[in-house]
Amino acid sequence: MPLSFSCATRLGGVLTVCLLATQPALAQLTEMPAQRLGLVPLPREVKAYTATYALPQKISIYATGKDGSNVAGLLKEMLTGLGKTVTLTSTRAGANIALLTAATPNPEAYQLTVDQQGIRITAAGGPGLFYGAQTLLQLLPARSAATAPVPYVRINDQPAFRWRGGMLDVSRHFFSVEFVKKYIDLLAAYKLNTFHWHLTDDQGWRIEIKKYPKLTQVSAFRKETLIGAQQLFKTPAEFKYDATPYGGFYTQDQIRDVVAYAQRRYVTIVPEIEMPGHSVAILAAYPELACKPGTYETWTMWGVNEDIVCPTEPTFRFFEDVLSEVTALFPGPYVHIGGDEAPKTRWKESAAVQEIMKKEGYTDVEKVQGWFNRRIEKFLASKGKKLIGWDEILEGGIAPSATVMSWRGEKGGIEAAKMGHDVVMSPTTHMYVNYGQSPKPHSPYEPLMIGGYIPLDVIYNYNPLPAELTPEQQKHVLGPQANLWTEYITTPAAAEYMLFPRLLAVSEVAWRPAAGKSYAEFLPRMGQQFARLDAKKVYYRVPEPLGLDSASVVRQNGKAVFTLRSLVPGAQIRYTLDGHLPDETTGLYTKPVAVPLNKGLTVRAVTITPGGRKSPPAELLVN
Ligand code: ACM
């Protein structure tokens, strides 16, 4: 057996202790496909081996410094949750897990080694150590287990993009601090590092601002909410409302608590304070900020509202006051100012806006929004913050150092990058995770939703770097972001259903270079995450069985033969041929099934997970 040495050097190299080890070095071990580890996102370089390190019941974690101690503390919480007894130590010798620092150019890069000496994570500092720890957790059992054999690995990893985002709209429906923390945990577990918190909109203002108490007394509440999917009604006259007051907000103490929680997990929060559009909730409390005097109410339906704030001095004072409090609460570099969907109906009718146009020499009212944004940008800069906005901010003349979040496709992002602005790619075509997951619009098996159909493969195959940008321009693409708008998402479970498993595909879009992605190879790795999501009590959408589509069905001897498989390990597939919805009592799929052609039979099949959860049905009319 080959020998290997492990040496510990005391400061200055005065004393060097080398231990002669008789265990095999990694180079002499049997390799296995990295794929089998089931990691999401797949690290940049992985070597995996069949040998395992037996992580004992009592574990010690070695770490030094503030970041090392932070990550060690988080690992301790996670491992304690897996039934281990964990101590933190500042003595390297004998530690089962060592968190080590070494200079690397990318602060998010890390190395993870598991071998006979135990587990070592090496990184420049906190973020890298944290991501190494997340990868390690995915090598451990999903739940408390008597033994935890950790496969020997040598992993070298770093992200493709700096901005790896997930947005949550808490205005249309309010989400508790507890759920916001869970969302942040889930982002971080899949190495997403940016939480875009959409805090204000027509349907509710959700952040306490000390100087404007009516924002949380009035704007945070609406008197009722539209029932049903708005786009299915022909005219507003058909709308029905639930006659139930709705609202909520975060106190500044709660915001500070969430910020600290995110910081511990190396997640940057980007707060969004919408302006000048999506602002009727502000007018409900402060109607003097409207162009037209009147009474306004926090909106009870969805869409784009023509009642927006007027771009006059009192409005600037309002937003500057609000942003002073917001910038003091959020330590991250960016503040999102919205900027989307701001109709100029009221501005066109306003003498005050005409006055601004005359003074600035504008003939196009859209230019007033650009002027407004540039003033806000200057104010944010005075607070040391950068402005980011939806791609409409390009239209009225963009603020010089603004970052653009491209949502109406990639066009805005491409244009902005060509102009030298940084961009975040979150196009509705690929990154809107509130859009549907069933090919059938308004499927009876899916929740109410808005928008089109964005299945997993469409997300997975998204490349945030548009081909028409030069390599130099591509450097302005900070990364991708998934958006979750919540018009029809009223509970944490409903949010999780839309987010998972699609967020796993987003994770890989953000972490992997496009050339290193393969959807076919992603699916089985994703499958291995379901047990982890179960352990975290995440209400993911159980994927329907694969193979029930006309391209996969084989027609022979007057029959259609279908071969099904599930993406969920250990799941059952149940099916019916009589039009009923399959359940635990209907046919158990064990081998390919032949169905006579031309009898008008519909095959329906569902996945039933080991935990008993069911997928929506896959279905095919056989003819
Ligand atoms: C948006 O979806 N209105 C940015």
Q: Cis before residue 276, ω within 30 degrees of 0?
A: yes
Percent of the chain with pLDDT over 90: 90
Q: Give, using CA atoms, the residue closest to atom 2 of ligand 1.
A: 407
Identity of the residue numbered 438? S
Beta bridge partners of 424: 405, 479
The confidence band for 26, taking pLDDT boundaries of 50, 70 and 90, is low
Is residue 559 pLDDT above 80, yes or no? yes
For the residues 108-124, what does the mean pLDDT come to? 97
Q: Are 568 and 542 in contact (CB under 8 A)?
A: yes
The full set of domain ranges for the chain reads 5-157, 165-535, 554-622
Q: Tokens at residue 610, please?
A: 């080991």
pLDDT at 470: 98
**pLDDT (tens digit per residue) in 303-321:** 999 999 999 999 999 999 9
pLDDT at 27: 64
Q: Are 391 and 337 in contact (CB under 8 A)?
A: no
Average pLDDT, the chain: 94
In angstroms, the CA 301 to CA 232 distance is 13
**pLDDT (tens digit per residue) in 170-194:** 999 999 999 999 999 999 999 999 9
Tell me which residue of 42, 23, 24 sits closest to 34, measured CA to CA. Answer: 42
Residues of 483-514 as b/e, b for ≥16 C-beta within 10 angstroms? bbbbbbbbebebbbbbbbbbbbbbbbbbbbee
pLDDT at 294: 96
Q: Tokens at residue 159, please?
A: 């992200």
Counting from 1 in the atom list of ligand 1, the atom nearest the Cα of 341 is 3
In angstroms, the CA 27 to CA 50 distance is 12
Beta bridge partners of 562: 593
- Give 72-79 contacts, CB < 8 A, sequence gap 24+: 72/99, 74/130, 74/133, 74/264, 74/265, 75/133, 75/136, 75/137, 78/133, 78/137, 79/140
The confidence band for 111, taking pLDDT boundaries of 50, 70 and 90, is very high
How far is ligand 1, taken at its centre, from the CA of residue 340, in Å?
6
Q: How far is CA 287 from the centre of its chain?
A: 35
For the residues 397-415, what does the mean pLDDT come to? 95
User: What are the start-end ranges of the H helices in 273-334?
Assistant: 280-285, 313-329
Q: Tokens at residue 586, please?
A: 């209907």
In angstroms, the CA 249 to CA 170 distance is 9
> Does 390 sit in the ligand 1 pocket, CB within 6 Å?
yes
Q: What is the DSSP letter of 141?
A: -
Is residue 488 pLDDT above 50, yes or no? yes
For the residues 424-429, what does the mean pLDDT come to? 98
The confidence band for 18, taking pLDDT boundaries of 50, 70 and 90, is very low
Between 3.20.20.80, 2.40.110.10, 1.10.3080.10, 2.30.140.10, what CATH number should domain 165-535 receive?
3.20.20.80
How far is ligand 1, taken at its centre, from the CA of residue 587, in Å?
44
Tell me which residue of 291, 284, 288, 294 sits closest to 347, measured CA to CA. Answer: 291
How far is ligand 1, taken at its centre, from the CA of residue 392, in Å?
10
CATH topology of domain 5-157: Chitobiase; domain 2 (3.30.379)
Counting from 1 in the atom list of ligand 1, the atom nearest the Cα of 485 is 2
**pLDDT (tens digit per residue) in 28-44:** 899 999 999 999 999 99
3-class DSSP string for 428-465? HHHHECCCECCCCCCCCCCCCCCCCECCHHHHHCCCCC
Tell me which residue of 264, 255, 277, 276 sits closest to 197, measured CA to CA. Answer: 255
**pLDDT (tens digit per residue) in 40-83:** 999 999 999 999 999 999 999 999 999 999 999 999 999 999 99
Counting from 1 in the atom list of ligand 1, the atom nearest the Cα of 432 is 2
Taking the alpha carbons of 437, 443, 445, 448 in that order, is the dihedral positive or negative? positive
Does the annotation mark 508 as catalytic?
A: no
pLDDT at 400: 81
Q: Are 330 and 259 in contact (CB under 8 A)?
A: yes
For the residues 472-489, what does the mean pLDDT come to? 98
Q: What is the DSSP letter of 177?
A: H
Q: Tokens at residue 328, please?
A: 């003091």
> Does 341 sit in the ligand 1 pocket, CB within 6 Å?
yes
Q: Which helix (H) or strand (E) holds 137?
A: helix 126-139
pLDDT at 4: 38
**pLDDT (tens digit per residue) in 143-179:** 988 888 999 999 999 999 999 999 999 999 999 999 9
How far is ligand 1, taken at its centre, from the CA of residue 425, in Å?
12
State the CB neighbour count (10 A cutoff) for residue 251: 12
How far is ligand 1, taken at its centre, from the CA of residue 319, in Å?
20
Q: Tokens at residue 489, please?
A: 């998402």
Q: Cis before residue 501, ω within 30 degrees of 0?
A: yes
> Does 340 sit in the ligand 1 pocket, CB within 6 Å?
yes
505, 511, 514, 518: CA torsion to nearest 10: -50
State the CB neighbour count (10 A cutoff) for residue 473: 18
pLDDT at 452: 87
From 168, 341, 394, the mutation candidate for ligand 1 (largest count of ligand atoms within 8 A of CB) is 341
From 203, 340, 404, 432, the mutation candidate for ligand 1 (largest count of ligand atoms within 8 A of CB) is 340
Tell which wins on pLDDT, 238 or 15: 238
- Output the pTM of the full model: 0.95
How far is ligand 1, taken at its centre, from the CA of residue 428, in Å?
8
Q: Give, using CA atoms, the residue closest to atom 3 of ligand 1.
A: 340
DSSP calls for 46-93: EEEEEEEEEE-SEEEEE--HHHHHHHHHHHHHHHHHTT-EEEEES--T
Is residue 22 pLDDT above 50, yes or no? no
Identity of the residue numbered 527? G
Q: Are 506 and 192 in contact (CB under 8 A)?
A: yes
Tell me which residue of 533, 525, 498 sits closest to 610, measured CA to CA. Answer: 533
For the residues 446-458, what does the mean pLDDT come to? 91
State the first-to-last Cα distance of the chain, in angstroms, to the nearest integer: 64
**pLDDT (tens digit per residue) in 340-399:** 999 999 999 999 999 999 999 999 999 999 999 999 999 999 999 999 999 999 998 888
- Give the active site residue among 224, 297, 325, 341: 341
Is residue 561 pLDDT above 90, yes or no? yes
**pLDDT (tens digit per residue) in 253-312:** 999 999 999 999 999 999 999 999 999 999 999 999 999 999 999 999 999 999 999 999
